[in-house]
Every structure is written in C-alpha cells, then in structure tokens.
Amino acid sequence: AYKSPLETFKSNIFGTINLLETIRNLKKEIILIFSSSDKAYGTLNEKEYFENHQLKGDYPYDVSKSCSDLIAQSYTKTYNLKVGIIRSGNIYGPGDYNKDRLIPHVITSALKNQQAILRSNGKLIRDYIYVDDVARAYYLLMKKMLKSKQRLRIYNVGSKENFNVINVVNLITDIIGEGLATYYQQL
C-alpha cells in the first residue's frame, strides 16, 4: 500500500463497489460478508475499539479499508442489500508467505538465523488472530445473516491477547530457537 497506493485504492475500494454493484443488479438476496480490518479505525487513542467507533484510517491501506467498509454500509442502507462486516486484527497462520507481513518475515528470518527487520519502533500493540479463528467468525456470521432479518451486522474479531511487535518477535524467535535446539539435541 505504501509502494502502490493507487493500486491499493483500486483493489479495495473499486473491488468492493464492483461486488456490491453485481449483487445489487443481479440478485439482492445474496449476502456479502465483507472483510474489513481493525486498521479501518485508524490510530486509536484508547486501549480498545468497538464496532460503533468512527472509521478514520490514516494511511493508504487503512483509508482503503475505511472507505470500503463505509461503502458496504451505504449499499445496505441505500439498496437494502444484506451485508456482514468483519473487522479483524492481524491474521496469521499457514499459507501466509508474504514476507512483508510481520509473522512470516520473523519466522523466515529466524529459520535463516538472520535478524528480522522491523518497519516501526516495535511498540505498536496489535491483535494477532489465527486464520482458523477468523474463518470460524466468517462462518458464524454467515449463519447468523441467513437466519436474521437484520440487513447489516458488524463485528470486531480479535484475540484476548494483545502484543507489541517486539513481543511477537521475541516470542517467535524463542520458540524457533528452542525448537531448533531440541531438534539438534535429538541428532
């Protein structure tokens, strides 16, 4: 998003509009489960955020998620579409090979015995949520949307544990270090 903000806006904003327009013109009974982000809230000055907090992203990705989220809400109100929105924290898990994301980058660096390169001071506290938990949230939201007459439902999906980047880096390198030590001891 920092390198290609226009592409980020096109993908997130116009991609969302294209889906909503297709549903609006094709079959209004289709339920859209929209994948937003906690980044749609922008920088928070509080310990936590709630679904009714204002969306006010600051950076290109954040703004694209705020806009897309608001657009999905407007289609619900204007065209009576049925939309569920999930705003999740940082998702991690198998199959994420994007080395620009913290957890895959730290794991890869630790396995190569290299130091991870952080893009911040490491003090930012975020939610980290396992991909299976987010997938379950999507499933549960769809089940609820199918049974409900309510046209719009919005949920934050996060974990009970919040970590800053330095905590995450230390946790991963400790686990990998212990795992490699155990592996070498068994040889």
Catalytic residues: 61
Element (H, E) at 157: strand 152-157
Buried b or exposed e, range 131-165, using 16+ CB within 10 angstroms: eeebeebbeebeeebeeeeebebbbbbbeeeebeb
**How far is Cα 187 from Cα 172, in angstroms, rounded to an integer?**
23
- Largest separation between any pair of C-alpha atoms in the chain: 65
CB atoms within 10 A of CB 170: 14
Q: How many CA atoms lie within 13 A of 122 on its CB side?
A: 9
| 16 vs 141: CA distance, rounded Å | 19
Measuring CA to CA, which residue among 34, 30, 35 is closest to residue 146? 30
Closest CA to 69 of 108, 100, 42, 99: 42
